[in-house]
Structure 1
Amino acid sequence: MKKRGSVLVEEVLLILIAVALVSAFALTISGMVQGAVDKILGFRNATNSILNSLVEGVKQLILG
Structure 2
Amino acid sequence: MIVLIKQENQTLNDVVLEHYGDLTHLDDVIALNHQLLSKVVLSLGDKVELPQFEEKTVEQTAKALWS
Q: TM-score range by the shorter chain?
A: under 0.3
Q: Looking at both structures, which has the greater relative contact order when contacts are Cα pairs under 8 Å and sequence separation is at least 6?
A: 2
Bigger proportion of residues as strand: 2
Q: TM-score, normalising length from structure 2?
A: 0.21
Q: TM-score, normalising length from structure 1?
A: 0.22
Bigger proportion of residues as helix: 1
